[in-house]
């Protein structure tokens, strides 16, 4: 059985780690380099760095900050935000990223998924999907959740897998920052539909929520931010708890 992964997420705006609720009301959560160092030391399986305003501000990811974070950690490192070409990917990989996450640019130019997967491999290609449940339907949103589309979460997930994505990072906008638990119904449906790993994001508030998303949501990894940034949940304690629930986890 493959072990489940615990992934802290650094949402970056103006060079600082921030966190909000339902993608709004962003508050400062600390220095990204210090947080990254802490997570690598305390047993995080991977780290995700999302420059959340890069697309909206029509600029590239903060390269120097990516380089600094990469230099302090020894765990797989995924970077997203403002990536719109293979050249952008090349630059990030040369500055310390192990994988890249594309979101809005993948919807606008789906061929980008094929191009990245072909050049760097599926294992390097993560497609992030931000979706909101509206009248019972999960719809994809772009530009940090600000732009609605008519694209169904499930249709899009099938397409990104077909195009060569190695992993899907699904964030439920309804659950984001609420600390009420992950969107396990949608996650379970996603994991039945596709054959690539699904990272659950949005809603972590307790250790039970992590267990639920692995058992009920069938997620392969769980990503969280504020519960880790503000020391509400410590990763070593979380992993021991999950182990006690008979969930395969790397201690």
Positions annotated as catalytic residues are: 11, 130
Determine whether 248 is exposed, middle or buried from the number of CB atoms within 10 Å of its CB (0-12, 13-18, 19+).
Answer: exposed
Q: What separation, in Å, do the N-terminal and C-terminal C-alpha atoms of the chain show?
A: 15
What is d(CA 104, CA 55) in angstroms, rounded to the nearest whole number?
8
Residue 200 to residues 11, 119, 216: CA-CA distances in angstroms? Answer: 15, 26, 12
Dihedral angle of Cα 62, 84, 168, 171, to the nearest 10 degrees? 60
Q: Which of 186, 182, 176, 173 is nearest to 226 (CA)?
A: 176
Contacts of 212 (CB under 8 A, 6+ apart): 181, 182, 184
What is d(CA 197, CA 164) in angstroms, rounded to the nearest whole number?
12
Count of Cβ atoms closer than 10 Å to residue 230 Cβ: 12
């Amino acid at each position: 059985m493959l072990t489940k992964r615990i992934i802290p997420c650094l949402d970056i705006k103006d060079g600082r780690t921030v966190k909000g609720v339902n993608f709004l009301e962003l508050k400062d959560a600390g220095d990204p380099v210090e947080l990254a160092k802490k997570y690598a030391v305390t047993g995080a399986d991977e780290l995700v760095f999302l420059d959340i305003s890069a697309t909206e501000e029509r600029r590239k990811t903060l390269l120097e900050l990516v380089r600094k974070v990469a230099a302090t950690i020894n765990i797989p490192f995924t970077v997203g935000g403002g990536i719109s070409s293979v050249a952008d990917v090349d630059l990030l990989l040369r500055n310390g990223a192990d994988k890249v996450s594309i979101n809005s640019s993948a919807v606008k130019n789906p061929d980008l998924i094929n191009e990245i997967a072909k050049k760097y491999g599926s294992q390097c290609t993560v497609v992030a999907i931000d979706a909101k449940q509206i009248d019972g339907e999960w719809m994809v949103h772009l530009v940090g959740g600000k732009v609605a589309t008519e694209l169904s979460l499930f249709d899009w997930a099938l397409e990104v897998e077909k195009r060569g994505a190695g992993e899907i990072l699904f964030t439920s906008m309804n659950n984001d920052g609420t600390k009420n638990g992950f969107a396990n119904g949608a996650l379970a449906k996603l994991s039945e539909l596709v054959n690539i790993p699904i990272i659950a994001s949005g809603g972590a508030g307790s250790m039970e929520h992590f267990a639920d998303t692995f058992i009920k949501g069938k997620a392969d990894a769980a990503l969280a931010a504020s519960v880790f940034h503000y020391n509400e949940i410590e990763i070593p304690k979380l992993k021991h708890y999950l182990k006690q629930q008979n969930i395969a986890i790397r201690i």
